[in-house]
C-alpha cells in the first residue's frame, strides 16, 4: 500500500453521501449539502487524521455552492483570517457519486479500501470498532460512509464490506446529527486512548 509522505500510518477517508439516501418513508431521495456538515465534519476529520473528506452530490448547483465555500476558506478572505479552518477544509473534495469516491481512494492508496457504512440501526454485517481499529493500525486503508436525511440507501449499503456498530445512548431515542455521529465514531476508531 502506498503511503502519503509524512502522513501517519493510518489510511482513512470518509464520505458524506447526499444521494442516494432515504427519506422518512424509505423513498430514495437526494439531500442538500449544509454548511454545518462541511465545516464540522472537516474539523473532526482533520483532528482525527482523516486524509480525504469527500462531499458526495450529483447536483451541479450543490457542487458550485460547495466549491464557493471552499474557495472562501482555502484561497479567499477566510483563508487569511482563519488558517486553522483552512487546514481543516483542505481535506475536502467534491465527488459526484460513491463510485468516484471509491476509484479516487483506490488510486490514492494503491489498493481498494475496506468500505464501512454507518447507520443508527444494528445491521447483520457489523464490524466491531476494536477490530476495525486494529486493521487500520496495521495499515489497511478504510473508507467510512456517512449518510444524510434518514440514512444511506440500500443500494449503497449492499456494496459495503461491513457496518460499524450504531452509536447508542440510553432508551429508544436515537436521532444524532451526522456531525455528532462522525465525531463519536472517529473517536472510537482513532481517538487517543492514553
Ligand atoms: N435514521 C438514520 C439512520 O438510520 O442512519 C439516521 C440519519 S442521520 C441524520 C444521517 C447519518 O448519520 C446516518 O446515515 C449515519 O451515517 C449517521 N448516524 C446517525 N445516527 C447514528 C448512530 N446512532 N450511529 C451511527 N451513525 C449514525
Tens digit of each residue's pLDDT (9 = 90 or more) over 60-119? 999 999 999 999 999 999 999 999 999 999 999 999 999 999 999 999 999 999 999 999
Report the phi/psi class of residue 126: left, alpha or beta, with left for phi > 0 and alpha for psi in -120 to 50. Answer: beta
Which helix (DSSP H) or strand (DSSP E) does residue 183 occupy?
A: helix 178-190
Examine the pLDDT at 29 and tell me if it is beyond 50. Answer: yes
Which position has the grid cell 445491521? 123
pTM for the whole structure: 0.94
pLDDT band of 152, cuts 50, 70, 90: very high
Centroid of ligand 1 to alpha carbon of 185 (angstroms): 11
Percent of the chain with pLDDT over 90: 93
On whether the CB atoms of residues 141 and 9 are closer than 8 A, the answer is no
Do the strands 21-22 and 28-29 form a parallel or antiparallel pair, or are they unpaired? Answer: antiparallel
Measured over all CA atoms, what is the biggest interatomic distance in the chain, rounded to whole angstroms? 47
Examine the pLDDT at 2 and tell me if it is beyond 60. Answer: no
What pLDDT, on the 0 to 100 scale, is given for residue 8? 54
What's the rounded mean pLDDT across residues 29-56?
98
- The binding-site residues of ligand 1, defined as CB within 6 angstroms of any ligand atom, are 118-121, 146-148, 150-152, 166-167, 174, 176, 178, 181
Do the strands 142-146 and 92-95 form a parallel or antiparallel pair, or are they unpaired? Answer: unpaired
Examine the pLDDT at 6 and tell me if it is beyond 90. Answer: no
Return all residues near 94 (Cβ < 8 A) that are at least 6 apart.
54, 55, 57, 63, 66, 67, 70
Q: Output the residue whose Cα is nearest ligand 1's atom 12.
A: 178
Q: Using most ligand atoms within 8 A of CB, pick from 21, 121, 153, 176 the residue to mutate for ligand 1.
A: 176
What pLDDT, on the 0 to 100 scale, is given for residue 41? 98
Centroid of ligand 1 to alpha carbon of 76 (angstroms): 33
The ligand 1 atom at the shortest distance from the C-alpha of residue 146 is 16
Centroid of ligand 1 to alpha carbon of 179 (angstroms): 9
pLDDT band of 194, cuts 50, 70, 90: confident
Mean of all residue pLDDT scores within the chain? 95
On whether the CB atoms of residues 152 and 16 are closer than 8 A, the answer is no
What pLDDT, on the 0 to 100 scale, is given for residue 1? 39
What pLDDT, on the 0 to 100 scale, is given for residue 80? 92
Examine the pLDDT at 3 and tell me if it is beyond 80. Answer: no
What pLDDT, on the 0 to 100 scale, is given for residue 4? 44
Examine the pLDDT at 5 and tell me if it is beyond 90. Answer: no
Centroid of ligand 1 to alpha carbon of 141 (angstroms): 22
Percent of the chain with pLDDT over 70: 96
The ligand 1 atom at the shortest distance from the C-alpha of residue 148 is 10
Amino acid at each position: 500500500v502506498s503511503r502519503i509522505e509524512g502522513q501517519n500510518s493510518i489510511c482513512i477517508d470518509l464520505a458524506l453521501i447526499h444521494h442516494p439516501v432515504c427519506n422518512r418513508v424509505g423513498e430514495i431521495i437526494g439531500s442538500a449539502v449544509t454548511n454545518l456538515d462541511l465545516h464540522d465534519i472537516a474539523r473532526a476529520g482533520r483532528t482525527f487524521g482523516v486524509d480525504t473528506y469527500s462531499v458526495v452530490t450529483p447536483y451541479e448547483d450543490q457542487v458550485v455552492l460547495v466549491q464557493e465555500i471552499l474557495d472562501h476558506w482555502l484561497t479567499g478572505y477566510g483563508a487569511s483570517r482563519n488558517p486553522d479552518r483552512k487546514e481543516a477544509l483542505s481535506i475536502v473534495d467534491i465527488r459526484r457519486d460513491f463510485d468516484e469516491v471509491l476509484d479516487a481512494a483506490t488510486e490514492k492508496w494503491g489498493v481498494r479500501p475496506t468500505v464501512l457504512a454507518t447507520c443508527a440501526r444494528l445491521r447483520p454485517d457489523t464490524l466491531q470498532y476494536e477490530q476495525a481499529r486494529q486493521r487500520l493500525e496495521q495499515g489497511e486503508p478504510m473508507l467510512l460512509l456517512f449518510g444524510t436525511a434518514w440514512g444511506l440507501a440500500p443500494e449503497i449499503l449492499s456494496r459495503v464490506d461491513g457496518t460499524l456498530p450504531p452509536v447508542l445512548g440510553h432508551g429508544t431515542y436515537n436521532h444524532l446529527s451526522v456531525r455528532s455521529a462522525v465525531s463519536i465514531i472517529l473517536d472510537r476508531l482513532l481517538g487517543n486512548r492514553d
